[in-house]
Amino acid sequence: MQDLLFLVPVLPLASALVLLLTAGRLSPFVVAILGVGSIGLAALLSLFIGLAFVASGEPVFHQVLFNWLPIANAPINAALQLDQLSLVMTGVITGVGWMIHWYAAAYMYDDKDIQRFFVYMNLFVFAMLILVLGDSLVLLYLGWEGVGLCSFLLIGFWQHDPNNVKAAKKAFIVTRVGDTAMMLGLLILFTEFGSLHIATILSSPVPVAQHTLWLACLLLVGGAVGKSAQLPLQTWLPDAMAGPPPVSALIHAATMVTAGVYLIARLHPLFLQVEGILTLVAWIGALTLVLAGIAALFQSDIKRVLAYSTMSQIGYMFLGLGALAFDSAIFHLMTHAFFKALLFLTAGSIIVKLHHQQNIYKMGGLFRSLPLTSTFLLIGLLALVAFPGTSGFFSKEAILAATWQAHTAGPVFWSLGVLGAFLTSLYSFRLLFIVCFGPASQHVEERDFSPASHFVLPLLPLFVLAVVGGFITLDFSRVFAQAAHPHVTLWIEWMPVAVSAFGFVVAWVLYFPRTTPRQVDGTMTRFCRDGLGFDWLYNRLFTQPLRLFARLNKSDVIDHFYRFVAWLNFRLNAVLVTSQNGKLRWYLYGTLAGCVLMLGGLIWWR
Q: How far apart are CA 341 and CA 248, in angstroms?
A: 9
Q: How far apart are CA 46 and CA 63, in angstroms?
A: 15
Q: Can you give the pLDDT at residue 458? A: 92
Estimate the crossing angle of helix 210-227 against helix 162-193, to 10 degrees: 160
Q: Can you give the pLDDT at residue 35? A: 94
Cβ-Cβ contacts under 8 Å for 425 (sequence gap 6 or more): 385, 499, 500, 501, 502, 503, 504, 507
SS3 71: coil
Q: Can you give the pLDDT at residue 466? A: 94
Q: Can you give the pLDDT at residue 318? A: 95
Q: Is the pLDDT of residue 532 over 70?
A: yes
Q: Which pLDDT tens digit goes with each residue over 382-394?
A: 999 999 999 999 9
Start-end of H helices in 297-409: 302-322, 326-353, 366-369, 371-385, 391-404
Q: How far apart are CA 140 and CA 102, in angstroms?
A: 27
Task: Note whether 323 and 406 are within 8 A (CB).
Answer: yes
Start-end of H helices in 157-301: 162-193, 198-203, 210-227, 236-239, 245-249, 259-266, 268-272, 277-296
Task: Note whether 361 and 442 are within 8 A (CB).
Answer: no
Element (H, E) at 560: helix 557-577
Residues 72-87 have a mean pLDDT of 85
- List own/partner pairs for 519-523 with CB under 8 A and 24 or more apart: 519/300, 519/361
Q: How far apart are CA 264 and CA 178, in angstroms?
A: 14
* The total number of residues written for the chain in this structure: 606
SS3 349: helix
Using only C-alpha atoms, the chain has a radius of gyration, in whole angstroms, of: 30
Q: Which pLDDT tens digit goes with each residue over 320-346?
A: 999 988 999 999 999 999 999 999 999
- Residues of the chain with pLDDT > 90, as a percent, come to 51
98 pLDDT tier (thresholds 50, 70, 90): very high
Q: Is the pLDDT of residue 409 over 70?
A: no
